[in-house]
Chains A and B, each alone.
Chain A
Amino acid sequence: MRILLVEDDPMIGEAIQGALKDASYTPDWVQNGLVALTALQAQHYDLVLLDLGLPGKDGLEVLSSIRGQNNPVPLLIITARDNLEDRLRGLDDGADDYLLKPFEMAELLARMRAVLRRHGGNASSRLDNGVVSLDLVSKEASTKDHPGVLLSSREFALLQALLIRPGAILSRSELEDRLYGWGNEVESNAVEFLIHGLRRKLGSHVIKNVRGMGWMVSKSA
């Protein structure tokens, strides 16, 4: 997969380029905005990684030029600018995600995968957080110790709700909203009952309780 990396800092550029190669991407690295625009016209890229603080042409200008040319290439901003305005402007101007320096390569790769998945349109048929994976078609959940566990439809819906955003804490009422449609009578303790069942099938570490707040599955390691 061909990636355009726009980054003026040689040390960071080199590191990201190397890491992308390690992850079997094909990165082209340019160090200023004008060259980036030229490269985008000459070559098809699957993804652009764009730094904002660029010499010559600022990253945000590069971004609006790209989108001005109706180029829908997936684009991820990587920047040291942590103020809210730049972040909002970047996302408003058509960036797909915004990653703040310093970041870890694992996180960048995960965000890249997410952006590519969204653009590909073919939503993955699996949800995975590294601890448990859920097959959205067969409704089977798998952990290291319990592969291929068949779930009831309520258990499936609950685990799916948690796995959509690993690391997010969902309260009981939020989970009930996901489980029951309008007008359906909510049974008391239903959520606890389902979680108890899921833990018995998959191991108790799969779903974590945050006292007083709700439940979560761990963020991807």
Chain B
Amino acid sequence: MDGFKKRLGESVQLRLSLALSSAILIIAVVAGVFAYVSAFDEAHDMQDDTLRQMAELFDRQHMTLQYPENGPEEDDESRIILQYLADGSKASGLDDAGTPLPFPTTLADGLSTVPIAGEAFRVLVKTTARGERIAVAQETGARDKDARASALRSVLPFLILLPVLLLVVGDLVRKVFRPIATLSSEIDRRDEQELHPIDEHHLPVEIRPFVVAINRLLHRVAQSMESQRRFVADAAHELRSPMTALSLQAERLAAADMSAPARERLEPLRRGIERSRNLIDQLLTLARVQSASGPAGATSVSVHDTYRRVLEDLMPLAELKQLDIGMDVGADVRVVMGDADLLTLVKNLVDNAIRYTPPGGRVDLSVTLENGAALLQVRDTGPGISSEERERVFDPFYRSLGNQASGSGLGLSIVKAIAERTGARIRLGFSDEQEQRGLCVSLWLAVSLPI
């Protein structure tokens, strides 16, 4: 019940439906009662008229009464009794065929309701032109029954139309609120990069100011995100110059004459500088792929060519660790993507594979067609990523526990940013599902059709 109250407080649509429904219900009940009462009265008036007309008819035609010998044969409930008023005094009592009825002779001319032996009768007493007093009577029970039936018939349309009206109102309210529902689902479907303003032209005037305000907020958010991104890019860019100077000086230092212990200490220093350089590069790449919008410069790119360029770049690293790195035999596939995007994507995946695979391990690249999409896979014989960690490894600077590899921690974030922007699907798995070892990254890209 509390839940319903809460919803009522929150939902204008529910409130509106409920208010309209109750109003309709109350009005329908009042109108129904009124119609019932007036139809009931109307029926009584008509029955009174019937009594009058009969008395009038009897009088005009100068008829004489003869009581039937065997009493009434049919349904006596609704019958109309016509008798001389004076005859009533001769009647002994009331049996079923008890005619004439024992009306008191003192009844005045006109309509009245007279109880006779526990049953009420509506009686019209009239003095005819010949001076006889006649009584036209009918049982009130029967009269009421008829009146109720006719009153109910007049209320019946209300009873039938009420639920229909309620349904129609509910439906109308839903329809009126549909633009809002459409709007919210449209906003819901957006990802965090889609900060373009909401189209307010097809919306009702009442919610337009609200949407305009939201658009302004979206604009401000987009601006602040943009300036943050620019800050990261600028900061990384600014760091490049001192880093370059630092690494050049360290390189020169290595060429200089120095004692053995000094040389020993220089090596970690240079490794540290190398690592910072790498980090700055990756930060810049991430800032760049995040700030680009849409599948920038998408063309038809050969996956084999991209693999080759990446391996040419990374072969020295792989040789250092004596990795067996290579590509599965198969036909080349061309995919729709920006040249630089695909290169950055594959390079980061292969770089990761090389970093996390122990010396002497193996890295395999492959591309195949699967259900009309290009499936690119990079498999290694490293430790792999457990299924619990698979979501988190895409976060910047996330590192698997107990990992000694010296990556920037940004590789997979870059991959994800590019994949999201270009609509590529990505999945992490084990290269060896049974042993739960080795990372296998699968990427599904749109195939470029031959022209």
Contacts and interface: CB of A to CB of B under 8 A. Distances in A.
B326 A210 contact: yes
A101 interface: yes
Interface string B34-54: 000000000000000000000
B310 to A, nearest CB: 10
Contacts of B24: none
A99 B68 CA distance: 131
Interface stretch (A6-14, A68-76, A138-146, A186-194): A6-14
Residue from the set A22, A208, A212 with the largest chain B CB neighbour count within 10 Å? A212
A77 to B, nearest CB: 14
A18 interface: yes
A9 B340 CA distance: 29
Interface string B345-374: 000000000000000000001000000000
A11 B245 contact: yes
A218 interface: yes
Contacts of B242: 11
Contacts of B304: 213
B194 to A, nearest CB: 24
Contacts of B328: 212
B312 A105 contact: no
Interface stretch (B86-94, B134-142, B249-257): B249-257
A214 to B, nearest CB: 8
What interface size band does chain B fall in? 20 to 34
Nearest to B327: A212
A25 B19 CA distance: 91
Given A11-B242, A11-B245, A102-B240, A22 B255 contact: yes
Contact of B241 (A101, A105, A219): A101
Contacts of A210: 311, 315, 325-327
Interface string B274-299: 00010011001000000000000000
A208 B248 contact: no
B329 A212 contact: yes
Contacts of A19: 248, 251-252
A214 B280 CA distance: 33
Nearest to A219: B316
Contact of B244 (A84, A101, A106): A101
A110 interface: no
Nearest to B340: A84
Given A102-B240, A103-B244, A211-B325, A218 B249 contact: no
A15 interface: yes
Main DSSP-derived SS at the B contact region: helix
A212 B252 contact: no
Interface string B215-257: 0000000000000000000000100111111111101100100
Interface residues of A, number: 30
B312 A16 contact: no
A9 B241 contact: yes
A8 to B, nearest CB: 9
Contact of A104 (B237, B245, B251, B327): B251
A120 to B, nearest CB: 26
A47 interface: no
A147 to B, nearest CB: 24
Contacts of B315: 167, 169, 208, 210, 216, 218-219
A12 B327 contact: no
A169 B308 CA distance: 7
B324 interface: yes
A153 to B, nearest CB: 27
A14 B237 CA distance: 20
Contacts of B247: 102, 104
Interface string A111-154: 00000000000000000000000000000000000000000000
The 3 closest A-B pairs by CB, nearest first: A211-B326, A11-B245, A212-B327
11 contacts: A11-B242, A18-B252, A19-B252, A102-B280, A168-B312, A169-B308, A208-B319, A210-B326, A213-B327, A214-B308, A219-B316
